[in-house]
Structure 1
Amino acid sequence: MRIGLLCAAAAVSLCALVGTPAAAQVHERTIRWGHLNNTDHPISFGVKKFAEVLAAKSGGKLKIREFPASQLGNEMQQQSAVRGGTQEILSASTTSLASVVKDLGLFDFPFIVSTFEQAEALAQGAFGKAMLETLPEKELIGLGYWGLGFRNATNSSRPIAKVEDFSGLKLRVIPNPVYLETFKALKANPVPMAFGELYTALENKTVDGQENPYSVILSNKFYEVQKYVSATNHTFTQNVIIVSKKFWDGLSAEEQKMLRDSFAETREYQRDQTKLAADKALGELKAKGMQFNEIAPAEYARMQDATKPVVEKFSAEYDPARVKLFTSELARIRGAK
């Protein structure tokens, strides 16, 4: 009996020793994840799902603490904090992250993709992967992309169903050269303006309209001061989930794998939430009285043609090899059935 007990004790001790190295690879950590969106936004839904998956994988040791609604500062401030190692994770738009990796700005070119599926194929394909590979030299690790959805135009004058309908409309745009040139090419009158000033400008007719995802149009109550919403789908906005390299390098291989696997298991959920939110927001905008119209494929093609000179002009400012990869990926995606 005593021999049996000793053997059992030895077996337990051996199991504990075998288990110790693996257990030691995962430490108690609280990981701060900042973003600009409210807690009812698909980005926040994605963060919560990621936190749930990561907690399950790590036995509760790796905890995500979400800081929504710019609680950790604006996007540029949070980028600086992540690069410096004082913040662990940020959901960063390609628009702002292009200040760190310029070629990410190619994602913001007008009319390059026309469906969610095309947008995802671009991000998940060779070009998207190549962009992630440039981040470590900038003190960042990219887990991957979360789509924010298409931007669409609203205004108080008329439906936008063809290129000519843009003519003369004063549209507030992001203070970004590509956006300014895009709407100039469409014969609109683009007005760069801080987002915080937009509602009042629409209300006072300082501008006729603006462009944003449906969810933003709804949450900011632009339906109160805008009559028409048109599915122009002119730009698809991507977020890159970036991790501080300084933080990342302090993680064990097992912890790094848990973060990457949690992202992989969360990506489709977040994508579906983005689609659902867009559909729901559009339905609510209609219910609140906005007049909605689709764009016929032939007219969408005309809008693409009108903005091709913008794409060509700004392409010359990027790495030629990256532009070639970007262009070949677009051709592949558009040709896929």
Structure 2
Amino acid sequence: MHSFRLLAAAAAFALLGAGTVQAQFLERNLRVSNGVSKEHPMGNGLAKMGECTLAKSGGKLKITPYWDGSLGNDLTATQSVRTGQIEMVLTSTAPLVGILPELGVFDLPFLFNNEKEADQLLDGKVGDWFAAKLPAVGVVNLAWWENGFRHTTNSKRPITRVEDFEGVKMRVMQNNIFIDTFKTLGSNAVPMAFSEVYSALETKTVDGQENPYTNIENMKFYEVQKYLTLTKHAYSPTLVLLSRKAWDTMSTQEQATLKECAAVGREEQRKVNRAKGEQSVANLRSKGMQVNEISPPEMSRIRAKTAVIQEHHGKTIGAEAISLVFGELKRIRGN
């Protein structure tokens, strides 16, 4: 009889515990704005993140993605997240430098040599330093995902040396460092929202653009662009931003679950993005794009020409951010 009472008490306690966990989750549907289509690796990341939140919240914490900029471009959607009109947005850092100028350090040309460096930097103390600044502007970063290394396409000619940038009308993100980088290389840099790029290329309003492989394939730029040059001139981190207004209404359990599941999504998103990137180059070739690399000596000339960009924008970015990022990169590289 005594053991039966003990078992009954243990079962009741277990049920009470389960109820407490459930009570820490409210029914929530977090809408996520995204500028790309569902087939993009962001879709893989969000699918994993959403499975994770549903599993950990007993089905209460739901994530609903919206694709192709249907809730606004990166900048307007981020503003909607800041005001609490939308709960979440996936965005590159570049459109946010007007809100947090320090993020401009990630737009400096040729900052990272490879993805491993980027992962170590963003998943460590530097990523945490930037994340700590975001709640003050109305958003919380749950994890660092990636758009990846950016490359150049155009409809005029292959770019094999620095002089080939001359006179190419190049769409860039709405970001002063990108504008300055391509102007410095001799291009006519035209800032424009991502959602407008395809039609601008089609109508020859611009000759070219720059984006990671998966975006180039995903947006079918190969239909309106002939030449792809593997410039790897910048690496675009992606922020998984939640409205601070939503964050502040959440229990510690909900907050912890979102961060944990954003990290689960990050592993999937990066893995798929990198695998798809290699596949995308092959696909773009098969769609008729001419793909070329730039020789190391010419690449050195391009890097040398863009070295002034840090000097031009260092004051706006701020000495602390620059010193932190470059100091950590030096440590990662072991020199």
Q: Partners of 1:180 and 1:17 in 2: how far apart?
A: 58
Q: 1:278 to 1:130 in 2, by over 3 A?
A: same
Q: Which structure 1 residue ranges, 5 or more long, are not aligned?
A: none
CA distance in 1, matches of 2:55, 2:91: 25
**For residues 202 and 32 of structure 1, do their structure 2 counterparts lie closer, same or farther at Cα, with a shift above 3 Å needed?**
closer
Aligned to 1:41: 40
| Cα deviation digits, residues 149-175 of structure 1 (max 9, x gap) | 122112233322222322333323334
Give the Cα separation in 2 of the matches to 1:153 and 1:108: 15
Matches within 5 A, 1:87-126: 87-126=86-125
Root-mean-square deviation (CA), in Å? 2.4
* 1:303 is the counterpart of 2:302: yes
Change over 3 Å in CA distance of 1:243–1:8 after alignment to 2: same
Task: State the match for 1:258 in structure 2.
Answer: 257
CA distance in 2, matches of 1:229, 1:158: 9
Give 2:207's aligned residue. Answer: 208
Residue 127 (structure 1) aligns with: 126
Q: Which amino acid aligns with 2:78?
A: Q
Which stretch of the first structure deviates more once superposed, 324-333 or 286-295? 324-333
Deviations, residues 57-106 of structure 1 (Å, cap 9, x unaligned) = 22222221222222323333322332223322211221122222111121
CA distances 1:120-140 after superposition (whole Å, capped 9, x unpaired): 233223322211010122222
Query: What is residue 145 of structure 2 aligned with on the other side?
Result: 146
Q: 1:7 to 1:327 in 2, by over 3 A?
A: closer
Distance 2:211 2:324 in 1: 28
SS at match of 1:112: coil
2:52 matched to which residue of 1?
53
| Range with greater deviation from structure 2 (10-19 or 296-305) | 10-19
- C-alpha distance in structure 1 between counterparts of 2:67 and 2:203, whole Å: 30
2:66 aligns to what?
Answer: 67
**Whole-Å separation in 2 of the counterparts to 1:208 and 1:275:** 27
Whether the aligned pair in 1 keeps the contact of 2:35 and 2:194 (CA below 8 Å) is: no
Residue range with higher mean Cα deviation, 304-313 or 191-200 = 191-200
CA gap 1:200/1:64 in 2 versus in 1, 3 angstroms: closer
Change (3 A) 1:299 1:118: farther
CA distance in 1, matches of 2:184, 2:69: 33
Contact 1:120 1:147 in 2 (8 A): no
Give the corresponding residue for 1:82.
81
Q: Give runs of aligned pairs for residues 261-280 of structure 1, distance below 5 A.
A: 261-280=260-279
CA distance in 2, matches of 1:60, 1:198: 38
Change (3 A) 1:129 1:289: same
**Residues 231, 294 of structure 1: 8 Å contact kept:** yes
**Counterpart in 1 of 2:170?**
171
What is the aligned-residue identity percentage?
40
1:332 paired to 2:326: no
Pick the structure with greater CA Rg.
1
Task: Work out the CA distance in 1 between the residues paired with 2:193 and 2:158.
Answer: 25
Q: Aligned partner of 2:261: which letter?
A: S
2:292 paired with 1:285? no
Once the two structures are TM-superposed, the CA of residue 198 in structure 1 deviates from its matched residue by: 4.3
Measured in 1, the distance between the counterparts of 2:108 and 2:40 equals 24
Q: 1:71 to 1:154 in 2, by over 3 A?
A: closer
Aligned match of 1:323: 322
Q: TM-score normalized by structure 1? A: 0.89
Distance in 2, matches of 1:175 and 1:149, equals 18
Moved more, 19-28 or 286-295: 19-28
SS state at 2:317 partner: coil
Cα deviation code 1:15-44 (max 9, x no counterpart)? 434544333223332222222221111112
- Say if 1:223 and 1:65 are closer, same or farther in 2 by CA, change over 3 A: closer
- Cα deviation per residue 1:175-213 (whole Å; 9 max; x = unaligned)? 432122211222233334455554455445554322222
Q: Secondary structure at the match of 1:233?
A: strand
What is the total number of aligned residue pairs between the two structures? Answer: 335
Cα distance change of structure 1 residues 74 and 276 upon mapping to structure 2, 3 Å threshold: same
- Tell me by how many angstroms 1:11 deviates: 4.1
- Pick which of 10-19 and 273-282 moved more: 10-19
Cα 1:132–1:10 change in 2 (3 A) is closer
